[in-house]
Amino acid sequence: MAFTQWNPNHIIKFNSAVSYDFLEYYQNILDKQIKMNEERIPHQTFAGSSFRCDRRSWFRIRGVAPDVVDVPDRSLEFAAQIGTDCHRVIQSNLSRALKENWIDVDTYIKSINFPYEYEITPDASGFESQVTIVDPPVRFSCDGLIRWNDTYYLLEIKTSEFSAWHDMTSPKAEHIDQVKCYATLLQLHKVLFLYQDRQYGDLKCYEVSVTDADMDVVNRRIAYVLDMVRKNIAPDPLPKGDKWCTKHMCPYFNKCSEYGR
């Protein structure tokens, strides 16, 4: 059996009392920010990012506070920030190159028979639009809307660690569930996923079609969860063993356990 020589360099994070104090100071800043963000009560709306779990949507719409964060996950927060930066670069490049084929979301919504009362809030970058629908209560951000070969596509940008990106041959199932919600509300049947590896910046792109049957399922699930909210009955959680149904992935994991899984 071969042994790897122990190298302590990766655990040497400071070399003096001052450097230790300053490191602790900054890490405490990060931990407080993460804890505040993770424990904040979300908007009482459906969110595409959590749409695949009816119980998680049920908690959100009822205004339930997430679980208390015991140990803030700095690596997860850092990955999310890198992902946001990658989004901005991609959106900036595409909006400049596509010009009039980079479609303003509000302009698009006004051009269709949109049945909902809504509000559009552009984010600080100006590339991404947050759509808030009053009834049913839904709130989501649209990464982009493009016209490609005379067809409108919902653009969904995702970033991933290299190992997951390298093995990817199709969009992740949880991401498809997410965009089906967006596409249904925006009445779009075509989606382009653009995946970027966060380490080297390489890209993969996949097209997905959202059928009328898919849209019917989304609308029925929205109606079902709202009915469960009115009745104060918890919907079934995701199947046992689902990777989303973990303390690491779900902000309601502990509270959900109280209802049984």
**Distance separating alpha carbons of residues 243 and 133, to the nearest angstrom:** 29
Q: Which long-range contacts (CB under 8 A, 24 or more apart) does 132-137 make?
A: 132/45, 133/45, 133/185, 136/46, 136/222, 136/223, 136/226, 137/44, 137/45, 137/46, 137/61
Average pLDDT rounded to a whole number, residues 144-158: 95
132 closest CA partner among 185, 188, 210: 185
**Distance separating alpha carbons of residues 197 and 102, to the nearest angstrom:** 23
**Distance separating alpha carbons of residues 12 and 103, to the nearest angstrom:** 50
138 closest CA partner among 153, 156, 117: 117
Average pLDDT, the chain: 90
Query: H or E element: which one contains 179?
Result: helix 173-186
Topology of 75-231 in CATH? Answer: Lambda Exonuclease; Chain A (3.90.320)
pLDDT-based confidence at residue 246 (cuts at 50, 70, 90): confident
44 closest CA partner among 29, 20, 27, 61: 61
Average pLDDT rounded to a whole number, residues 170-185: 92
- What pLDDT score was predicted for residue 1? 46
Least confident of 91-95, 146-150, 172-176, 225-229: 172-176
**Distance separating alpha carbons of residues 165 and 175, to the nearest angstrom:** 14
Q: pTM higher than 0.95 for the full model?
A: no
**Distance separating alpha carbons of residues 57 and 53, to the nearest angstrom:** 6
Average pLDDT rounded to a whole number, residues 110-133: 87
Is the pLDDT reported for residue 2 higher than 60?
no
Question: Euclidean distance between the first and final Cα of the chain, in Å?
Answer: 43
Average pLDDT rounded to a whole number, residues 47-68: 92
DSSP-based three-state secondary structure for 148: strand
DSSP 235: P
